[in-house]
Amino acid sequence: MKLLRNPEVKRGAAVYLSLTAVVCAAALLLFGAKCGAVAAAVCVVFDAAALSGSVIRFRKIRQMCSEIDNMLHSKSYVELSSYSEGELSILRDELSKVISMLRENADSMLRDRQYLSDSIADISHQIRTPLTSVNILLSMLSGPDVTDERRSELIGEVSGQLLKIDWLINTLLKISKLDAHVAVFDPTPVGLLPLVQKAVSPLLISLDLHDQKLSLDIPGDISITADVPWTSEAICNIIKNCMEHTPAGGSIRVEAMSTPVFTQLTVTDTGSGISGEDLPHLFERFYRGKGSSDSSVGIGLALARMILSEQNATVKADNSPEGGACFTIKFYTSIV
Protein backbone atom coordinates (compact mmCIF):
# COMPACT_ATOMS: atom_id res chain seq x y z
CA MET A 1 0.00 0.00 0.00
CA LYS A 2 1.19 3.47 -0.83
CA LEU A 3 0.06 4.78 2.54
CA LEU A 4 2.26 2.28 4.35
CA ARG A 5 5.24 3.93 2.65
CA ASN A 6 4.32 7.18 4.36
CA PRO A 7 7.11 8.04 6.85
CA GLU A 8 4.66 8.99 9.58
CA VAL A 9 2.69 5.77 9.13
CA LYS A 10 5.91 3.76 9.19
CA ARG A 11 7.06 5.48 12.39
CA GLY A 12 3.70 4.83 14.00
CA ALA A 13 3.83 1.15 13.00
CA ALA A 14 7.35 0.83 14.39
CA VAL A 15 6.27 2.33 17.72
CA TYR A 16 3.22 0.04 17.96
CA LEU A 17 5.29 -3.07 17.17
CA SER A 18 7.97 -2.08 19.66
CA LEU A 19 5.41 -1.62 22.42
CA THR A 20 3.81 -4.94 21.47
CA ALA A 21 7.15 -6.72 21.74
CA VAL A 22 7.87 -5.19 25.15
CA VAL A 23 4.40 -6.04 26.53
CA CYS A 24 4.53 -9.61 25.19
CA ALA A 25 8.01 -10.20 26.59
CA ALA A 26 7.03 -8.83 29.98
CA ALA A 27 3.86 -10.95 30.10
CA LEU A 28 5.79 -14.04 29.05
CA LEU A 29 8.48 -13.59 31.70
CA LEU A 30 6.17 -12.61 34.52
CA PHE A 31 3.04 -14.71 33.93
CA GLY A 32 4.06 -17.52 31.63
CA ALA A 33 3.49 -18.57 28.05
CA LYS A 34 -0.31 -18.61 28.16
CA CYS A 35 -0.52 -15.06 29.46
CA GLY A 36 2.13 -13.97 26.98
CA ALA A 37 0.08 -15.39 24.10
CA VAL A 38 -3.07 -13.57 25.31
CA ALA A 39 -1.12 -10.31 25.65
CA ALA A 40 0.31 -10.78 22.18
CA ALA A 41 -3.17 -11.33 20.70
CA VAL A 42 -4.59 -8.25 22.45
CA CYS A 43 -1.65 -6.10 21.34
CA VAL A 44 -2.00 -7.29 17.75
CA VAL A 45 -5.68 -6.31 17.76
CA PHE A 46 -4.94 -2.87 19.19
CA ASP A 47 -2.01 -2.38 16.78
CA ALA A 48 -4.19 -3.31 13.84
CA ALA A 49 -6.92 -0.91 15.00
CA ALA A 50 -4.44 1.92 15.54
CA LEU A 51 -2.72 1.28 12.23
CA SER A 52 -6.07 1.12 10.45
CA GLY A 53 -7.03 4.46 12.03
CA SER A 54 -3.80 6.01 10.84
CA VAL A 55 -4.27 4.60 7.37
CA ILE A 56 -7.84 5.89 7.21
CA ARG A 57 -6.80 9.32 8.51
CA PHE A 58 -3.96 9.68 6.02
CA ARG A 59 -6.21 8.43 3.22
CA LYS A 60 -8.64 11.24 4.09
CA ILE A 61 -5.77 13.73 4.17
CA ARG A 62 -4.60 12.52 0.76
CA GLN A 63 -8.15 12.82 -0.59
CA MET A 64 -8.39 16.32 0.85
CA CYS A 65 -5.08 17.27 -0.82
CA SER A 66 -6.44 15.98 -4.12
CA GLU A 67 -9.64 18.00 -3.69
CA ILE A 68 -7.65 21.14 -2.88
CA ASP A 69 -5.48 20.59 -5.95
CA ASN A 70 -8.61 20.25 -8.08
CA MET A 71 -10.06 23.42 -6.60
CA LEU A 72 -6.86 25.37 -7.20
CA HIS A 73 -6.84 24.29 -10.84
CA SER A 74 -10.55 25.11 -11.32
CA LYS A 75 -11.53 21.50 -11.86
CA SER A 76 -14.12 21.05 -9.16
CA TYR A 77 -15.59 22.40 -5.96
CA VAL A 78 -15.87 20.72 -2.58
CA GLU A 79 -19.40 19.99 -1.40
CA LEU A 80 -19.36 21.08 2.22
CA SER A 81 -22.65 19.34 2.93
CA SER A 82 -21.01 15.96 2.31
CA TYR A 83 -18.68 16.29 5.29
CA SER A 84 -19.44 15.00 8.76
CA GLU A 85 -18.32 16.53 12.03
CA GLY A 86 -14.72 16.02 13.08
CA GLU A 87 -11.39 17.76 13.11
CA LEU A 88 -10.51 16.75 9.55
CA SER A 89 -13.96 17.79 8.33
CA ILE A 90 -13.62 21.16 10.05
CA LEU A 91 -10.19 21.57 8.49
CA ARG A 92 -11.65 20.72 5.09
CA ASP A 93 -14.40 23.25 5.54
CA GLU A 94 -11.99 25.99 6.55
CA LEU A 95 -9.60 25.20 3.71
CA SER A 96 -12.44 25.21 1.20
CA LYS A 97 -13.55 28.62 2.50
CA VAL A 98 -10.02 29.99 2.15
CA ILE A 99 -9.65 28.57 -1.37
CA SER A 100 -13.07 29.91 -2.38
CA MET A 101 -12.06 33.35 -1.12
CA LEU A 102 -8.79 33.13 -3.05
CA ARG A 103 -10.69 32.13 -6.19
CA GLU A 104 -13.06 35.08 -5.76
CA ASN A 105 -10.11 37.42 -5.27
CA ALA A 106 -8.44 36.00 -8.36
CA ASP A 107 -11.64 36.50 -10.38
CA SER A 108 -11.95 40.03 -9.03
CA MET A 109 -8.34 40.81 -9.97
CA LEU A 110 -8.95 39.41 -13.45
CA ARG A 111 -12.00 41.64 -13.87
CA ASP A 112 -10.01 44.63 -12.58
CA ARG A 113 -7.21 43.93 -15.06
CA GLN A 114 -9.71 43.64 -17.88
CA TYR A 115 -11.40 46.86 -16.81
CA LEU A 116 -8.03 48.62 -16.60
CA SER A 117 -7.10 47.33 -20.04
CA ASP A 118 -10.40 48.53 -21.52
CA SER A 119 -10.07 51.90 -19.77
CA ILE A 120 -6.54 52.42 -21.08
CA ALA A 121 -7.73 51.55 -24.58
CA ASP A 122 -10.61 54.05 -24.27
CA ILE A 123 -8.34 56.76 -22.88
CA SER A 124 -5.80 56.18 -25.64
CA HIS A 125 -8.51 56.44 -28.25
CA GLN A 126 -9.96 59.61 -26.74
CA ILE A 127 -6.55 61.32 -26.58
CA ARG A 128 -5.41 60.06 -29.97
CA THR A 129 -8.36 61.66 -31.77
CA PRO A 130 -7.57 65.30 -30.87
CA LEU A 131 -3.85 64.64 -31.27
CA THR A 132 -4.48 63.46 -34.80
CA SER A 133 -6.45 66.63 -35.47
CA VAL A 134 -3.60 68.72 -34.05
CA ASN A 135 -1.08 66.99 -36.34
CA ILE A 136 -3.28 67.62 -39.37
CA LEU A 137 -3.79 71.25 -38.43
CA LEU A 138 -0.06 71.76 -37.89
CA SER A 139 0.71 70.27 -41.29
CA MET A 140 -1.81 72.68 -42.81
CA LEU A 141 -0.21 75.58 -40.94
CA SER A 142 3.17 74.74 -42.42
CA GLY A 143 1.82 75.05 -45.95
CA PRO A 144 3.37 77.84 -48.06
CA ASP A 145 0.08 79.25 -49.34
CA VAL A 146 -1.70 79.74 -45.98
CA THR A 147 -3.13 83.24 -45.66
CA ASP A 148 -2.98 85.17 -42.41
CA GLU A 149 -6.73 84.81 -41.94
CA ARG A 150 -6.61 81.05 -42.51
CA ARG A 151 -3.57 80.76 -40.27
CA SER A 152 -5.47 82.49 -37.46
CA GLU A 153 -8.38 80.07 -37.92
CA LEU A 154 -6.08 77.04 -37.83
CA ILE A 155 -4.32 78.30 -34.70
CA GLY A 156 -7.71 78.71 -33.03
CA GLU A 157 -8.64 75.13 -33.95
CA VAL A 158 -5.32 73.83 -32.60
CA SER A 159 -5.91 75.72 -29.37
CA GLY A 160 -9.39 74.19 -29.10
CA GLN A 161 -8.05 70.66 -29.56
CA LEU A 162 -5.33 71.24 -26.97
CA LEU A 163 -7.93 72.56 -24.51
CA LYS A 164 -9.95 69.41 -25.13
CA ILE A 165 -6.92 67.23 -24.35
CA ASP A 166 -6.25 69.25 -21.19
CA TRP A 167 -9.88 68.88 -20.07
CA LEU A 168 -9.83 65.16 -20.80
CA ILE A 169 -6.65 64.55 -18.82
CA ASN A 170 -7.86 66.62 -15.85
CA THR A 171 -11.20 64.81 -15.83
CA LEU A 172 -9.54 61.39 -15.97
CA LEU A 173 -7.26 62.39 -13.10
CA LYS A 174 -10.29 63.40 -11.04
CA ILE A 175 -11.99 60.09 -11.80
CA SER A 176 -8.87 58.17 -10.79
CA LYS A 177 -8.75 60.09 -7.49
CA LEU A 178 -12.37 59.23 -6.81
CA ASP A 179 -11.72 55.59 -7.71
CA ALA A 180 -8.80 55.46 -5.29
CA HIS A 181 -10.80 57.32 -2.59
CA VAL A 182 -8.05 59.92 -2.22
CA ALA A 183 -10.12 62.89 -3.37
CA VAL A 184 -10.49 65.46 -0.59
CA PHE A 185 -13.98 66.89 -0.02
CA ASP A 186 -14.58 69.91 2.16
CA PRO A 187 -18.34 70.05 2.79
CA THR A 188 -19.55 73.48 3.85
CA PRO A 189 -23.02 75.07 4.06
CA VAL A 190 -23.74 76.89 0.79
CA GLY A 191 -26.78 78.41 -0.83
CA LEU A 192 -28.06 76.26 -3.68
CA LEU A 193 -28.77 79.23 -5.99
CA PRO A 194 -25.22 80.67 -5.89
CA LEU A 195 -23.85 77.14 -6.24
CA VAL A 196 -25.84 76.55 -9.44
CA GLN A 197 -24.91 80.02 -10.74
CA LYS A 198 -21.25 79.14 -10.22
CA ALA A 199 -21.80 75.83 -12.03
CA VAL A 200 -23.38 77.40 -15.13
CA SER A 201 -20.99 80.34 -15.42
CA PRO A 202 -18.58 78.46 -17.78
CA LEU A 203 -21.53 77.61 -20.06
CA LEU A 204 -23.07 81.07 -20.47
CA ILE A 205 -21.16 81.95 -23.66
CA SER A 206 -22.02 78.60 -25.30
CA LEU A 207 -25.66 79.00 -24.30
CA ASP A 208 -25.73 82.43 -25.90
CA LEU A 209 -24.03 81.20 -29.10
CA HIS A 210 -26.59 78.42 -29.46
CA ASP A 211 -29.47 80.75 -28.65
CA GLN A 212 -30.48 78.53 -25.73
CA LYS A 213 -32.38 79.90 -22.78
CA LEU A 214 -31.42 78.92 -19.23
CA SER A 215 -33.91 79.56 -16.43
CA LEU A 216 -33.25 79.04 -12.72
CA ASP A 217 -36.21 78.52 -10.40
CA ILE A 218 -34.36 78.07 -7.12
CA PRO A 219 -35.58 79.73 -3.90
CA GLY A 220 -32.88 81.81 -2.29
CA ASP A 221 -33.40 80.28 1.15
CA ILE A 222 -32.49 76.72 0.10
CA SER A 223 -29.01 75.64 1.17
CA ILE A 224 -27.09 72.38 1.25
CA THR A 225 -23.87 71.11 2.77
CA ALA A 226 -21.45 70.18 0.00
CA ASP A 227 -17.98 70.71 -1.40
CA VAL A 228 -18.42 73.75 -3.64
CA PRO A 229 -15.78 73.10 -6.37
CA TRP A 230 -16.60 69.40 -6.77
CA THR A 231 -20.38 69.83 -6.61
CA SER A 232 -20.43 72.77 -9.01
CA GLU A 233 -18.47 70.67 -11.51
CA ALA A 234 -20.97 67.81 -11.20
CA ILE A 235 -23.91 70.17 -11.79
CA CYS A 236 -22.03 71.83 -14.66
CA ASN A 237 -21.50 68.47 -16.38
CA ILE A 238 -25.18 67.61 -16.12
CA ILE A 239 -26.34 70.98 -17.48
CA LYS A 240 -23.68 70.76 -20.21
CA ASN A 241 -25.08 67.39 -21.27
CA CYS A 242 -28.55 68.92 -21.52
CA MET A 243 -27.14 71.82 -23.50
CA GLU A 244 -25.43 69.48 -26.00
CA HIS A 245 -28.71 67.63 -26.65
CA THR A 246 -30.93 70.69 -26.90
CA PRO A 247 -31.41 72.26 -30.34
CA ALA A 248 -30.75 75.93 -31.07
CA GLY A 249 -33.54 78.06 -29.69
CA GLY A 250 -34.38 75.48 -27.00
CA SER A 251 -34.40 75.96 -23.28
CA ILE A 252 -33.00 74.39 -20.12
CA ARG A 253 -34.75 74.73 -16.78
CA VAL A 254 -33.26 74.17 -13.33
CA GLU A 255 -35.68 73.89 -10.41
CA ALA A 256 -35.22 73.11 -6.73
CA MET A 257 -37.33 72.07 -3.78
CA SER A 258 -36.47 71.16 -0.19
CA THR A 259 -37.92 68.60 2.22
CA PRO A 260 -36.84 67.57 5.72
CA VAL A 261 -35.11 64.51 4.20
CA PHE A 262 -33.48 65.85 1.04
CA THR A 263 -33.02 68.82 -1.26
CA GLN A 264 -33.94 68.09 -4.85
CA LEU A 265 -32.49 69.78 -7.92
CA THR A 266 -34.17 69.04 -11.25
CA VAL A 267 -32.64 69.85 -14.65
CA THR A 268 -34.87 69.51 -17.71
CA ASP A 269 -34.38 70.43 -21.36
CA THR A 270 -36.45 70.68 -24.52
CA GLY A 271 -34.31 68.27 -26.51
CA SER A 272 -35.27 64.95 -28.04
CA GLY A 273 -34.96 63.08 -24.75
CA ILE A 274 -33.03 59.93 -23.90
CA SER A 275 -33.62 56.75 -25.88
CA GLY A 276 -34.59 53.61 -24.02
CA GLU A 277 -31.40 51.95 -25.24
CA ASP A 278 -29.17 54.70 -23.83
CA LEU A 279 -30.96 55.24 -20.52
CA PRO A 280 -29.46 52.27 -18.57
CA HIS A 281 -25.91 53.17 -19.69
CA LEU A 282 -26.03 56.94 -19.44
CA PHE A 283 -23.70 57.22 -16.44
CA GLU A 284 -21.19 54.61 -17.63
CA ARG A 285 -17.70 55.78 -18.48
CA PHE A 286 -16.94 56.43 -22.14
CA TYR A 287 -20.52 55.61 -23.11
CA ARG A 288 -21.73 57.78 -25.96
CA GLY A 289 -25.38 57.66 -26.88
CA LYS A 290 -26.81 57.79 -30.36
CA GLY A 291 -27.38 61.52 -30.23
CA SER A 292 -23.94 62.41 -28.89
CA SER A 293 -21.85 64.95 -30.74
CA ASP A 294 -18.47 64.11 -32.24
CA SER A 295 -16.75 66.06 -29.47
CA SER A 296 -18.46 64.06 -26.72
CA VAL A 297 -16.17 61.81 -24.71
CA GLY A 298 -18.69 60.11 -22.44
CA ILE A 299 -17.17 60.76 -19.01
CA GLY A 300 -18.89 63.96 -17.87
CA LEU A 301 -21.98 62.24 -16.48
CA ALA A 302 -19.90 59.42 -15.01
CA LEU A 303 -17.79 61.97 -13.13
CA ALA A 304 -20.91 63.81 -11.98
CA ARG A 305 -22.42 60.68 -10.47
CA MET A 306 -19.15 59.77 -8.72
CA ILE A 307 -18.87 63.24 -7.20
CA LEU A 308 -22.45 63.22 -5.98
CA SER A 309 -22.20 59.68 -4.60
CA GLU A 310 -19.22 60.70 -2.50
CA GLN A 311 -21.40 63.35 -0.84
CA ASN A 312 -24.45 61.30 0.09
CA ALA A 313 -26.31 62.46 -3.02
CA THR A 314 -27.88 60.67 -5.96
CA VAL A 315 -28.59 61.52 -9.58
CA LYS A 316 -31.19 59.89 -11.82
CA ALA A 317 -31.88 60.37 -15.52
CA ASP A 318 -35.27 60.02 -17.17
CA ASN A 319 -37.51 61.60 -19.77
CA SER A 320 -39.90 64.33 -18.70
CA PRO A 321 -43.61 63.96 -19.64
CA GLU A 322 -43.40 67.15 -21.73
CA GLY A 323 -40.47 65.73 -23.70
CA GLY A 324 -36.76 66.16 -23.30
CA ALA A 325 -34.35 64.80 -20.73
CA CYS A 326 -34.83 65.15 -16.99
CA PHE A 327 -32.03 64.80 -14.42
CA THR A 328 -33.00 64.62 -10.76
CA ILE A 329 -30.34 65.25 -8.10
CA LYS A 330 -31.10 64.63 -4.45
CA PHE A 331 -28.87 65.93 -1.66
CA TYR A 332 -29.85 63.96 1.41
CA THR A 333 -29.85 65.59 4.81
CA SER A 334 -27.74 63.95 7.50
CA ILE A 335 -29.85 63.45 10.61
CA VAL A 336 -27.98 63.05 13.90
Per-residue pLDDT reduced to its tens digit, 88-146: 666 667 767 777 777 777 777 877 777 667 667 767 767 777 788 888 888 888 877 87
Of residues 202, 168, 169, the one with CA closest to residue 297: 168
Per-residue pLDDT tens digits for 200-247: 998 998 899 889 999 999 998 999 999 999 999 999 999 999 998 899
Q: What value does the mean pLDDT of the chain take?
A: 80
- Confidence check: pLDDT of 154 > 90: no
What pLDDT is recorded for position 62? 72
Q: Which amino acid is at 168?
A: L
What pLDDT is recorded for position 336? 40
Contact between residue 234 and residue 283 where contact means Cβ atoms under 8 Å apart: no
| Residue of higher predicted confidence among 20 and 178 | 178
What pLDDT is recorded for position 80? 45
What pLDDT is recorded for position 167? 81
CA distance 96 to 313: 40
| Residue of higher predicted confidence among 175 and 330 | 330
| Cβ burial 130-153 (10 Å sphere, 16+ → b, else e) | beebbeebeeeeeeeeeeeeeeee
Pick one of 1.10.3470, 1.10.10, 1.10.287, 2.40.50 as the CATH number of 122-179.
1.10.287
Where exactly are the structural domains of the chain?
A: 3-76, 122-179, 188-332
pTM score, whole prediction: 0.64
Fold of 188-332: Heat Shock Protein 90 (3.30.565)
246 phi/psi in degrees, rounded to 5: -110, 130
Please report which confidence band the pLDDT of residue 81 belongs to, taking 50, 70 and 90 as the band edges.
Answer: very low
